[in-house]
Amino acid sequence: MSVHAKKKARARRRRAAPQARTRADAREAPRPAEGVKAPLKAQIERHLRAQLAALTGGLAPDDYLNAWWEWYLKLATQPPRQVQLARSAYEKILDSWQFMASAAGGTPLAPGHEELGFSDAAWNVWPFNAYARTYANWASWWQQALAPPAAADAQQSRLNFAGRLLLEAASPANFLQTNPELLNRTAAESGHNLIRGLKHWLEDAQRAVSGARAAGTEQFEVGKEVAVTPGKVVFRNRLIELLQYAPQTPEVYAEPILITPAWIMKYYILDLSPRNSLVRYLVEKGHTVFMISWKNPGAADRELGMDDYLQLGFLDALAQVRRLIPQHPVHAVGYCIGGTLLAIAAAALTQAGEAPFASLTLLAAQTDFSAPGELSVFITPSQIAMLEAMMQKSGVLESERMGAAFALLRSRDLLWKPAVDQYMRGERPKLNDLMAWNADGTRMPWRMHSEYLERLYLKNELARGEFTVRGERIDLSCLRAPMFVVGTETDHVAPWRSVYKVRDLTRSADYTFLLTSGGHNAGIVSGPVHPRRRHRMLTWSNATARLSPDEWLKSAPPLEGSWWPAWQHWLIEHSTAKRQPAGTLRAAAGAQHRALEDAPGSYVRG
């Protein structure tokens, strides 16, 4: 090849090279149009979900539509089941007609089914007894149809939940025209009860629009009627205030108690009125008590995640307690999700070679979320996507949304009955301290709530050993500190059998499980003396012994009274002698850190 020809070939290669590189880059990189469309599509989907959530109250309708469709398909392939339901429907229709014919004679006839709200004698009169009997038969048939003999799965749970909502909404007790008690009240008061009810409704609507607290809660002002145990705010960051309570005895146990409440509630559920304040009870028994008070997050806190709640929340509080009272291990207590956070933090510290704990106490706290109980109806990918869409604009989940979800789980007692009492009977409920606290809701930041639902509830990462903190997996089996775990019998937030599962995840050779009567809140806040409380308790002295929940229930004898004294006695057994003068600890704390303000602090008022 001539020199001239070689130069021309090199020139052609130089001209072609940029084009080749351009084609290669085009194959590897996404087209600009696709890069623009993907976020836009996600934004549109999120906006549509948010609009849908406004119509459905935050519920994901596709979950329930799929559940109904699956139920229908199963029923369509089970002719014996169809025959059984048809026979049951015929029997209940016949019973309704026979009862209606008997009751039409005018003789008072009780419809039965007092558990459905038909216990008053007014329901024994025609035609109201017929309404009640027909409704009860209809509800019974639907419950039978929606609860097949096979073991219930997640779809079945959602189906039962949706069916129960519809049944409880349709009760004749909810309507003026079909409720004889309401009609008698209205006649006796010449309709003044309805006027008061309308006034109550207008007041509540105005409060809802303005964001004011529920009526009656003003009688329980924080720092005056509740949360009144003396103390100081000794530390504050962007997420928590740390409260240290003043000692009430000349000497105190050397080991302090650090309590981590749930951030989905105000901390003062554990410091209500003096008669049922767990904090006051502990300080009067000679313990030095610290309490985390969580900030009520706003839009600026939307990016706070689980790692932030771990570091800015529990770990910063623990570090401050150890600075104020050095050289003594800490009794760490966690309530509800605060207990879940405590378990995560304790495992992370143990894996890092630290041992700061004298004991760990979990109150109605789950670490294995494989059986979360009735809350499972709200934990699905579709439901989480719906909540994220709702939180996207404001950055937080409003407390009203969460409160409504819990009310739906007990709609007859928490939704319909209060509505009938206030808006048709014209009667405002007389609030107690626990009810007022329950109305003092908190918000949750977008990132934390999404991570919490997806990682803990949906994927159950903590129990699987897949939950990570700063890139390191958390293994609860490393926990060796003495443990005291409390479940409550009628808990629909953290079912006690789910709480019990922590025994299989940890390796403590000093382990106590206590089951108390009551629910998630009332069972824990029982006071030191409670005439209607009972509990069961068993202690293991090795790390390998196991009992199933039913075996444990048979082995643990029932004991009358509150669980508080039993736990406080256990704390004493795991503390050194009461040898620290209270003034010494107070002086040491004051020397290291000046108090910021008096308890209950500022964050609890947010």
**pLDDT by residue (tens digit) across 120-151?**
999 999 999 999 999 999 999 998 998 765 55
Compare 244 and 371 and report the one with higher pLDDT: 244
The CA distance from 274 to 228, in Å, is: 8
CB within 8 Å of 365: residues ≥ 6 apart: 334, 335, 336, 337, 338, 339, 340, 342, 343, 485, 494, 499, 502
The one-letter amino acid at 22: T
User: Crossing angle, helix 128-146 and helix 79-103, to 10 degrees?
Assistant: 170
The one-letter amino acid at 117: G
The lowest-confidence range among 79-88, 384-393, 550-559 is 384-393
The lowest-confidence range among 112-116, 326-330, 598-602 is 112-116
Taking residues 579-602, what's their average pLDDT?
Answer: 69
pTM of the model: 0.86
Please tell me the predicted confidence (pLDDT) of residue 151: 53
Please tell me the predicted confidence (pLDDT) of residue 23: 35
- Residue-range domain boundaries for the chain: 78-168, 231-370+460-605
Residue 172: cis peptide before it, omega within 30 degrees of 0 = no
Q: Which residues pair with 222 in a beta bridge?
A: 226
What residue has token string 């205030």? 241
**pLDDT by residue (tens digit) across 447-500?**
999 899 999 999 999 999 999 998 899 999 999 999 999 999 999 899 999 999
Over its C-alpha atoms, the chain yields an Rg (Å, rounded) of 30
At residue 487's C-alpha, the angle toward residues 407 and 444, to 5°, is: 45
Compare 541 and 106 and report the one with higher pLDDT: 541
Please tell me the predicted confidence (pLDDT) of residue 330: 97
Class level of CATH domain 231-370+460-605 = alpha beta
Q: Determine what percent of the chain is predicted with pLDDT higher than 70.
A: 90
The CA distance from 267 to 325, in Å, is: 22
Residue 544: closest CA among 573, 517, 510 = 510
Taking residues 258-284, what's their average pLDDT?
Answer: 95
Distances (CA, A) of 597 to 224, 268, 489: 16, 17, 39
The CA distance from 311 to 361, in Å, is: 20
Which band of pLDDT confidence, cut at 50, 70 and 90, is reported for residue 593?
low
Which band of pLDDT confidence, cut at 50, 70 and 90, is reported for residue 160?
confident
| Whether residue 38 has pLDDT greater than 70 | no
The CA distance from 565 to 376, in Å, is: 34
Please tell me the predicted confidence (pLDDT) of residue 7: 47
Residues annotated catalytic, as ranges: 336
What residue has token string 């419950």? 143
Q: Determine what percent of the chain is predicted with pLDDT higher than 90.
A: 61
Q: How high does pLDDT run on average in the chain?
A: 87
Q: Is the dihedral of CA 451, 454, 457, 463 positive or negative?
A: negative
| Whether residue 591 has pLDDT greater than 70 | no
Please tell me the predicted confidence (pLDDT) of residue 404: 77
Taking residues 319-345, what's their average pLDDT?
Answer: 96
Q: Which residues pair with 537 in a beta bridge?
A: 514
